[in-house]
Structure 1
Amino acid sequence: MSGLRVIRPGPQSLLQDGGRHGWQHFGVSPAGPLDLHAAAWANRLLDNPWGTPLLEIALGYLELESELDTWLALTGAEVAATLDGTPLPPWSRFPLRAGQRLKLGFARSGQRAYLAVAGGFHAPSQLGSVSTQQREGLGGLQGTGEPLRTGDLLPCLAADFSRALSVPWPYQPDYRAPARLRVIGGGDKAGFAADQVQAFFERSWQLSPQSDRMGARLLGEPLAAPSRQWSQGVCRGAIQVPPDGQPIILQADHQTMGGYPILGWLHPLDQARLAQCPAHHELRFSPVDIGEAQGELREFYRFFGR
């Protein structure tokens, strides 16, 4: 199969799909894209089904050369994208001809760009997914959890569309704006002192440079957390408060068990905004009703055909 040849892989470019679900009881995290919103739009622009394999490109600086005629869609972080030197509009789909080169510069806002191809990229499935999980050595082009390397071939099929298409501007996020993130209360929240819960929502936090695909670490005035004597299963979005009082929000590559007390869960749709925050970006939190969050998530899934 032909495809796109990797000329320059960028700092970390990972093949992702809808995630590796149903294996957490064996200690395997789901992985998948950190920014579900941008990934969903990239596939929708190409009429790909939900979860079709695409690239998550951290910080940009990717270069690919095509071996076939197809269509691509680029969403997410603002990267200077060019096709044979011609600038490309953001959050849009565009044709790519055999021999042409796509270049992405470093991200000017946001942290992760998403590149989809018509029909999706092809790779061997492991435990029902091609998602790259580096810590566990699963997924990716070789099935060993590695990011893209120079010389790799991203297999895909030829495709054609009648016209270019872009995401309407109201649906394109402003990654430079302060992040306002909503939290569903629960877990061990009742064990926290009321003033500590209030402090979490009233204080301004920063994203730590130590954050990764496993967890987003917050920096700010420490919280006092209750103790817990046992571990329990955890999921993406859980807000853990370790003994140092600096909260950790679990991300797509999270561990499957945790012993730190949980203050609540980040709204699933706001996880996408968190994924695009650079180090030291200001974060503010507000409570949200679980019913409201469920309604918004159902609408999101309906729109994107999940």
Structure 2
Amino acid sequence: MGIRVLEAGLYTTVQDAGRSGQRRWGIGRGGALDGLAASLLNILLGNPPEAALLEMHFPGPRLRFEQATVMAIGGADFAPTLDGRPLANWQRYAVQPGQQLAFRQPRRGRWAYLAVAGGLATPRWLGSASMNPFAGLDGLLGRPLRAGDEIPLSPGLPTPAAGLALAHRTRPEYVTDDTRPLRVLPGAEFHALDPDSQAALFDEAMTIGADSNRMATRLEGVRLRLAYPVELVSSAVACGSIQLPPDGRPVVLLADAQTIGGYPRVAHIITADLPDFVQRRPGQPVRFQPTTIVEAERAAATQRQRLRQLATAVALTDTARTVPER
């Protein structure tokens, strides 16, 4: 019992908040590319923010529910339908056994998420259900979904009432043009860029390249150059690190990237701005703006605080709905 995969889609995987504390062993964090969307959907359903859910690229999967539950979809807008009836993002929906979920077209964004009440009950490795394609793991821990897969749901948990939706002010904006630059910290080798390239990194818009996946996204339109040769011993990198390969086209590392690398690290996208970046599709522009560690930490703290406040508001709303009238 759970969710039956009728069509797998292009790259549908089980994700959660990822594996923390394993980088010293060469194991990346992984997890949802758009961690903000994943957290928001789980909070909307009354789940822990780190509960497992599905991450979907377009074309999306076609799924049949084998048991009743409550679900919500968010992140990218792929025009979801339930038995042909259009659904909205960021809203709870009750589903019954036999109903089918499908996605018609990519209206906005690149990665969509499907969460269910209680979260997915798929296997875990090192404390996480996130798919890792490099560790030789079996089943959904080591590969994307395939047609015929059965995704178990958490059994015996109470389901929240359908109908609740996130207020518009709490939803991610996903600015996908260059009117709002993404904030970056100068990287450890930023000083190795020549003066023109240092200026270009912040003054010129780049575009999202077609050569991108869960590991990295290549940026096009601007070629950066080093002022002098840099030979690095492999050094630590993380999701958001911007490396500069020899061809001069920057590469932004994402959730499934390696833990160390030898290319110069010229900048790093701050955590709070990563959702805007990963939701941009090939050909869309991106512009960077320098910031400070203090501002990066403040932005991350503000985001965490808003998620805690939202979780409290959702819990209070559900409690009020279950209080019997007198």
TM-score (norm 1): 0.93
CA contact (8 A) 2:7 2:62 kept: yes
Higher mean C-alpha displacement, 94-103 vs 170-179:
170-179
SS in 2 for 1:107: coil
CA contact (8 A) 2:184 2:289 kept: yes
Higher mean C-alpha displacement, 183-192 vs 44-53:
183-192
Q: Which residue of 1 aligns with 2:322?
A: none
* Structure 1: distance between partners of 2:84 and 2:64: 13
TM-superposed CA distance for 1:124, in Å, is: 1.4
| 1:238-257 correspondence to structure 2 within 5 Å | 238-257=241-260
**Higher strand content, 1 or 2:** 1
Counterpart amino acid of residue 276 in structure 2? R
Counterpart amino acid of residue 153 in structure 1? E
CA contact (8 A) 2:70 2:92 kept: yes
Q: Which residue of 1 aligns with 2:191?
A: 190
- CA separation of 1:242 and 1:12: change in aligned 2, threshold 3 A: same
Q: Which residue of 2 aligns with 1:24?
A: 23
Q: Which residue of 1 aligns with 2:68?
A: 69
Structure 1 runs (4+) greater than 4 angstroms displaced: none
Q: Deviations over 1:25-69 (max 9, x none)?
A: 222111101111211111111011121000000114321111211
* Structure 2: distance between partners of 1:205 and 1:176: 12
| 1:211-230 correspondence to structure 2 within 5 Å | 211-225=212-226, 226=228, 227-230=230-233
- CA separation of 1:195 and 1:57: change in aligned 2, threshold 3 A: same
Counterpart amino acid of residue 152 in structure 2? P
Q: Which residue of 2 aligns with 1:237?
A: 240
SS in 2 for 1:12: coil
**Could you say what the CA RMSD is over the residues aligned between the two structures, in angstroms?**
1.9
SS in 2 for 1:72: strand
- Counterpart check, 1:287 vs 2:290: yes
Q: What are structure 1's unaligned runs of at least 5 residues?
A: none
Q: Deviations over 1:135-194 (max 9, x none)?
A: 3344763x3x11111111111136432341222223242455446311112311223333
Counterpart amino acid of residue 261 in structure 2? G
* Structure 1: distance between partners of 2:271 and 2:70: 30
Q: What are structure 2's unaligned runs of at least 5 residues?
A: 312-326
SS in 2 for 1:208: strand
Counterpart amino acid of residue 173 in structure 2? P
Q: Deviations over 1:84-114 (max 9, x none)?
A: 2211112211111122111122322111110
CA contact (8 A) 2:176 2:285 kept: no
* Structure 2: distance between partners of 1:152 and 1:102: 15
CA contact (8 A) 1:15 1:131 kept: yes
CA contact (8 A) 1:78 1:113 kept: yes
- Counterpart check, 1:148 vs 2:145: yes
* Structure 1: distance between partners of 2:13 and 2:298: 31
Higher mean C-alpha displacement, 245-254 vs 85-94:
85-94
Q: Which residue of 2 aligns with 1:199?
A: 200
Counterpart amino acid of residue 276 in structure 1? Q
- Counterpart check, 1:271 vs 2:274: yes
| 1:130-141 correspondence to structure 2 within 5 Å | 130-138=129-137, 141=140
CA contact (8 A) 2:77 2:107 kept: yes
Higher mean C-alpha displacement, 57-66 vs 265-274:
57-66
* Structure 2: distance between partners of 1:140 and 1:28: 18
CA contact (8 A) 2:15 2:129 kept: yes
TM-superposed CA distance for 1:296, in Å, is: 1.3
CA contact (8 A) 1:133 1:139 kept: no
CA contact (8 A) 1:60 1:112 kept: no
CA contact (8 A) 1:54 1:114 kept: yes
TM-superposed CA distance for 1:195, in Å, is: 2.9
* Structure 1: distance between partners of 2:251 and 2:220: 9
Higher mean C-alpha displacement, 130-139 vs 170-179:
170-179
* Structure 2: distance between partners of 1:162 and 1:127: 33
- CA separation of 1:239 and 1:80: change in aligned 2, threshold 3 A: same
* Structure 2: distance between partners of 1:188 and 1:175: 28
* Structure 2: distance between partners of 1:253 and 1:272: 15
Tell which structure's C-alpha radius of gyration is larger.
2
Q: Deviations over 1:198-221 (max 9, x none)?
A: 111111111111111111111123
